[in-house]
């Protein structure tokens, strides 16, 4: 895990959902870039395993783990405090933890198909923004808030009524946070991944994964590491001019519908 640039040298980051998928790839990227990272996940055992693997790769002291259910504000607040206790400060939070799934609207059981998605994908980001924002203000040193929205946060899609609503809220939260926290030197940015080869998508059939891949311009699923590369840039001082906006990391998903075999004119 060595040999790359150190654009995040001296920064402390908290990454939710850090034990798998985009979160895990971002933990690994941040450590390579010189950051200290608190790996936060609802699965404490998996978070500790990530820490052990990174430490075994020669990065002892660069990572620590914390268990948190992001739908509970007290858990997120405690995770922020743990980052400060272990590493002395907080510079970046990546609100990435989320759940997926869906059902046709008229088949919804609100307690199953709406409330959990809102609690994790929407409220979890709100909790991260609030807890980190308060910490950044008290430190007086500014900070960066990066939150995972989705291509679905900007459009309607199949079986995604609740998911799309939660991810749209993340975009709105980001704009408002950037506006309200700018006076404290805080930047807020949202990313909108498209079809990414995470465990959530990789569990589906090859036929469905092929369909997902065809929706992007490279005709391939995006790798979690490619999303992590963008997040690392956004967390760095090189991205100081990017604030209050949405960065599409969807390999063109949002710019076209489908490829056509055109007739000869």
pLDDT single digits (tens) 5-60: 599 999 999 999 999 999 999 999 999 999 999 999 999 999 999 999 999 999 99
Q: Which two tokens stand for residue 210?
A: 């092929």
Arithmetic mean of pLDDT, 81-92: 98
| Domains identified in the chain, total number | 1
Positive/negative CA dihedral, 184, 40, 170, 8 = positive
Give me the domain span that covers residue 191. Answer: 12-248
Residue 253 lies in a domain: no
| For the chain, the helix, strand and coil percentages under 3-state DSSP, each to the nearest 5 | 50, 15, 35
Q: Per the domain annotation, does 118 fall within a domain? A: yes
Helices and strands of the chain, counted as H and E runs:
9, 7
> What does the block give as tokens for 125?
């980001």
Task: Quickly state the pLDDT bin for 260 (edges 50, 70, 90).
Answer: confident
Query: Quick one: pLDDT band at residue 3, thresholds 50, 70, 90?
Result: very low
pLDDT on residue 256: 85
Per-residue pLDDT, 257:
79
User: Cβ of 263: how many Cβ atoms within 10 Å?
Assistant: 5
CA-based angle 124:25:224, to the nearest 5? 90
Contact 167, 223 (CB under 8 A): no
pLDDT, averaged across the chain: 95
Residue 257 lies in a domain: no
- Domain for residue 6, yes or no? no
* 221, part of any domain: yes
Residue that is written with structure tokens 């008229």 in the block:
106
Residue 2, pLDDT > 50, answer: no
> pLDDT tier at 1 (50, 70, 90 boundaries)?
very low
Residue 5 pLDDT: 55
Active-site residues: which are they? Answer: 163
pLDDT digits over 201-244, tens only? 988 899 999 999 999 999 999 999 999 999 999 999 999 999 99
**How would residue 199 be classed by pLDDT, with cut points 50, 70 and 90?**
confident
For position 34, which CATH number holds? 3.40.50.720
Q: Identify whether the C-beta of residue 174 lies closer than 8 Å to the C-beta of residue 189.
A: yes
Pick from 164-168, 227-231, 248-252, 258-262: least confident: 258-262
pTM for this model (two decimals): 0.95
Nearest to 182 by CA among 220, 237, 145: 145
pLDDT at 264: 75
| 1, part of any domain | no
User: How far are the Cα atoms of 14, 37, 87 from residue 92, in angstroms, in the given order?
Assistant: 6, 9, 12
Residue 4 lies in a domain: no
């Amino acid at each position: 895990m060595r040999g790359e640039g150190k654009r995040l040298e001296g920064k402390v980051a908290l990454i939710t959902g850090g034990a798998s998928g985009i979160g895990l790839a971002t933990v690994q990227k941040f450590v390579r870039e010189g950051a200290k990272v608190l790996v936060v996940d609802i699965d404490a055992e998996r978070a500790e395993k990530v820490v052990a693997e990174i430490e075994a790769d020669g990065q002892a002291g660069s990572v620590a783990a914390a268990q948190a259910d992001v739908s509970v504000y007290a858990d997120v607040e405690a995770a922020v405090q743990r980052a400060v206790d272990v590493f002395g400060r907080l510079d970046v939070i990546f609100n990435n933890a989320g759940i997926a799934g869906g059902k046709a609207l008229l088949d919804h059981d609100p307690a199953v198909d709406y409330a959990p998605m809102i609690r994790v994908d929407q409220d979890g980001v709100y909790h991260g923004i609030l807890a980190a924002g308060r910490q950044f203000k008290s430190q007086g040193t500014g900070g960066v808030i990066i939150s995972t929205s989705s291509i679905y946060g900007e459009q309607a899609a199949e079986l995604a009524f609740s998911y799309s609503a939660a991810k749209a809220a993340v975009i709105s939260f980001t704009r408002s946070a950037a506006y309200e926290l700018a006076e404290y030197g805080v930047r807020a940015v949202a990313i909108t991944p498209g079809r990414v080869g995470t465990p959530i998508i990789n569990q589906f059939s090859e036929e469905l994964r092929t369909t997902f891949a065809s929706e992007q311009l490279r005709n391939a699923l995006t790798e979690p590491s490619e999303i992590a590369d963008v997040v690392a840039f956004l967390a760095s001082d090189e991205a100081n001019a990017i604030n209050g906006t949405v960065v599409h990391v969807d390999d063109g998903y949002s710019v076209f519908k489908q490829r056509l075999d055109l007739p000869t004119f």
